[in-house]
Amino acid sequence: MDKWKKTLSDEVSPEFESRVLGNVRPLLKENAELFAKDSGRKVPWLRWQLFALPGTAVAVLVALAVLRLSTTTEPPAPELAVQLSPEFELAMDFAMFKDLPEIENLDLLQKLGDPETWPNQAPRKTKKAPKS
């Protein structure tokens, strides 16, 4: 039978070969795309987990860090060691306002009134009368 088969074969021309290759090229491309799609579907669940696990861990750590930063309260400011005198505080108030050009305007300064009467102003300490 092998000898029979030999009589069946015929050589193809190079032109025919290139014609066939040109014809099947789009089909091969189609196969490649389908194969890639199939391979994507067949990735085992565990393999996805292996990729996802480090990413998830990092995301959780970052989220915890952000949460911690947002809830942390600022440390209380240390108490002033020196008790400022009312006069010094008053002088400081004026010195601060003096930096602003509007403050130089006398009218505005008058409108602002006496710093003693400004709201949220800590009550002035009164000097104790010297002991007689």
By beta-carbon proximity to another protein, the closer residue of 13 and 117 is 13
Give least dist CB 42 to another protein, A: 13
The answer to whether residues 124 and 86 touch, using CB atoms and an 8 Å cutoff, is: yes
Is 124 near another protein (CB under 8 A)?
A: no
Is 25 near another protein (CB under 8 A)?
A: yes
Of the candidate spans 27-35, 48-56, 105-113, 119-127, the one that interacts with another protein by CB under 8 A turns out to be 27-35
Handedness of CA 93, 98, 99, 103 (dihedral sign): positive
Which residues make Cβ contacts (< 8 Å) with residue 103, sequence separation at least 6? 97, 109, 112
- Give the pair of three-digit tokens for residue 126: 């009164």
Is 43 near another protein (CB under 8 A)?
A: no
Q: How far does CA 90 lie from the centroid of its chain?
A: 44
d(CA 38, CA 32): 10
Is 28 near another protein (CB under 8 A)?
A: yes
Eight-state DSSP code of residue 99: T
Is 14 near another protein (CB under 8 A)?
A: no
Is 40 near another protein (CB under 8 A)?
A: no
Return residues touching another protein (CB under 8 A). Answer: 1, 3-12, 16-17, 19-21, 23-25, 27-35
